[in-house]
Amino acid sequence: MLILAIETTGPVSSVALDRDGIITEIKNEDSYSHLKQLMPMVRELMDEEGVKGEDLDAIAVSQGPGSFTGIRIGMVSAKGLAQVWGKPIVEVPTLATFAYRDYDWEEEGRKYLYCPVIDAKMHQVYAAAYEKGNKEAIVKGASYYIDEYLELLEKAAKDYDAVVFFGDAYGLYKDSIDSCDIVYALAPEEDLCQTALGTAVLGEELLREGKTKSCFDAQPEYFRLPEAERKFRTKSLVIAPAAPDDLDRIEVIEKSAFSDPWTREMLGNDISRSLEDPRSVFLTARDPGEGRDVVAYIEAMFLPGTFAEIDNLATAPERRRQGIARKMMLEIISKAKELKVKEVQLEVRASNTPAICLYESLGFRNVGVRKGYYADGEDAVLMTKEL
């Protein structure tokens, strides 16, 4: 079995040839020079190994997550070569490749949990957790806020001797990691980043399982929308006052977002009040076009010249982490400035890390805690933004 493997999702691009488990790899040490260096590396490796395109059984490509630009470069290159040579493509999940490499520091008999943590920007990480040589994740690969990920990891790590972190996000979140109840180590620098070697090993396993795609069907895995598409979709949202006809959809989102959701009656009363009282605002966001459902909403009460309080904010599950909640918050902040409001206030569950990160990024600061504020006894964090 002969496989060409391509890795471009991280800072360093690499290519590898896998001949029945014997792997030869070339790395480019210049960070993020994939577009310039990838194809020359493929040519160099195949020439050195005496391999022609028609000799290959498949092309394995690291499909993401990681750098959006890098993912695209790798996938487009793999698809182009596959089309020219008439070969299938093996889509290799990037995070799982860390568990398919052999490391000098591994000790026989010790049970490790391999945990890639890659900076995803916007206060998030691409992360997962795997056992050695097992592509089925112990902690599912996804885009997480670091506290969300670490909470899942703490539970999973209890069955292992040690957690080993890989990726470029460790330094950004070291304090949070140190505060967790886990025994962990950071992989040596030479092992931190994803490489084509791992892509080749996992790619060979997937090929033996018959998991291939044509050059037309292979797709990248971003875990969230690319930045340009996210901004376009968010920018095109229509923000408008809630109407009684929106209540069914708002109730669905409310129940999906909160463990103790407001009742239908409460939401309906708030919509009615917002249509009668100029101090009460209930806004919805929806995609442009007729018949589009509400994808998010926000409620706030304004006392012109003094303060405003944000009472409720929720986004449909399938549209979270696309910048919609931020857009809704900015609408309220803009209105507050128009009304000469001096301060915007809100309460948030102490465990709601994604929301707290969002509010902090908008300039809100933690000014206190309301003990046992919620029905289940959880504390509320009080946050304010001065205008």
The two three-digit tokens of residue 60, written as one number: 């394995």
The two three-digit tokens of residue 127, written as one number: 């992360």
Token look-up 């046992």 returns: 372
CA distance readout (Å), 340 to 249, 327, 330: 33, 20, 15
Please list the active-site residues. Answer: 347, 359
Alpha helices (H) along the chain = 34-49, 68-85, 146-157, 174-178, 196-208, 227-235, 247-257, 264-276, 324-338, 353-361
CA distance readout (Å), 21 to 16, 64, 119, 212: 11, 23, 31, 18
Query: Over 63-132, what HEC string results?
Result: CCCCCHHHHHHHHHHHHHHHHHHCCCEEEECCHHHHHHCCCCCCCCCCCEEEEEEEECCCCEEEEEEECC
Q: How far apart are CA 387 and CA 385, in angstroms?
A: 6
The two three-digit tokens of residue 364, written as one number: 């809100």
Q: How far apart are CA 64 and CA 220, in angstroms?
A: 6
Tell me the CB-side half-sphere exposure of residue 177, using CA atoms within 13 A. 18
Q: How far apart are CA 17 and CA 9, in angstroms?
A: 18
